[in-house]
Structure 1
Amino acid sequence: MRWDVTTWAVVALALMAAETLAPGAFMLWMGFAAAAVFLAVLLVPGIPVLAQVAAFVVLSFVSIQIYRRWFRKGARQSDRPLLNRRAEQNIGAVAPLDQAIAGGRGRIKLGDAFWAVEGPDLPAGTPVRVIAVDGMVLKVQEA
């Protein structure tokens, strides 16, 4: 067996196997590109190594674009889109200020966590409504 044929077979199998360790459908498509180069090298002996690598790069790019355009867009939508976006889950919540807003910054307690807030200056104890999120800072207005 020729070394280039064996090498591309191993690369294709390794990329496809790596997909099981780091799922995301990225390496799978590169594995398909390596498999295509494997078949080309197997069927047409004498292809220069530089041409093989160039074909692999081009086929990898094309196959990933095919995945992104036709397969990825059909991904299932989550029934809980805010699951890992904890700050955004608080939009609309009303709570009393734990610490007065002075100079535009204060603090409230929502659930078991304290949150930094920004809004108009208000005394402690004033009920406020969360209207937006900026990173981990909640934007509030008087409720």
Structure 2
Amino acid sequence: MQWNTETVTWAVVALLLFAAEAMAPGAFMLWLGFAAAAVFAIVLLVPNVPVLAQVAAFVVLSFVSIQVYRSWFRGREPRSDKPTLNRRTEALVGQVVPLERAIVNGHGRVQIADAFWDVTGPELPAGTVVRIVSSRGMSLLVEPAV
């Protein structure tokens, strides 16, 4: 085992990446930190590894560790019982409401609870009951409810 500048550098890089992950969690810097820690171990155990080989190993191990995360861990996240919780317009799809303002030239308005929403759809008079079929940004696409 030999402690030299390169060994200490990889240890510091790994610790900085782990610290960055702790400060702003997102599971990305963690995997780069694992790659830096692996290069640290390689440089510690195998002396005189060229710097270019160290950097190449870091790049390859970073890629591999991120792919392991994406294929193994990312797909195993628990599914939400409320997938549209923070997607208000998507949560409104399927609701049936009366038009508050007629749809003229493709644009109208509905009131849902205490909020007014812009709608697009076919020409319809005010008071017509419509079904929300999709959303585009903050606008709802409606069709006549039957």
On whether the aligned pair clears a TM of 0.5, the verdict is yes
Q: CA RMSD in A?
A: 1.2
**TM-score, normalised relative to structure 1:** 0.94
Give distance in 2, aligned partners of 1:57 and 1:112.
Answer: 53
SS in 2 for 1:95: strand
Give distance in 1, aligned partners of 2:36 and 2:137.
Answer: 41
Q: CA deviation at 1:97?
A: 1.2
1:24 aligned partner, one-letter code: G
Aligned twin of 1:76: 78
Aligned twin of 2:69: 67
SS in 2 for 1:84: coil
Give distance in 2, aligned partners of 1:108 and 1:98.
Answer: 5
Aligned twin of 2:5: 3
Aligned twin of 2:22: 20
Give distance in 2, aligned partners of 1:19 and 1:95.
Answer: 46
Q: Structure 1: give runs of 5+ residues left out of the alignment.
A: none
Q: Structure 2: give runs of 5+ residues left out of the alignment.
A: none
Aligned twin of 1:85: 87
Count of residue pairs brought into register by the alignment: 143
**TM-score, normalised relative to structure 2:** 0.92
SS in 2 for 1:87: helix
Name the % identity: 64
Aligned twin of 2:141: 139
Deviating above 2 A after TM superposition, structure 1's stretches of 4 or more consecutive aligned residues are none
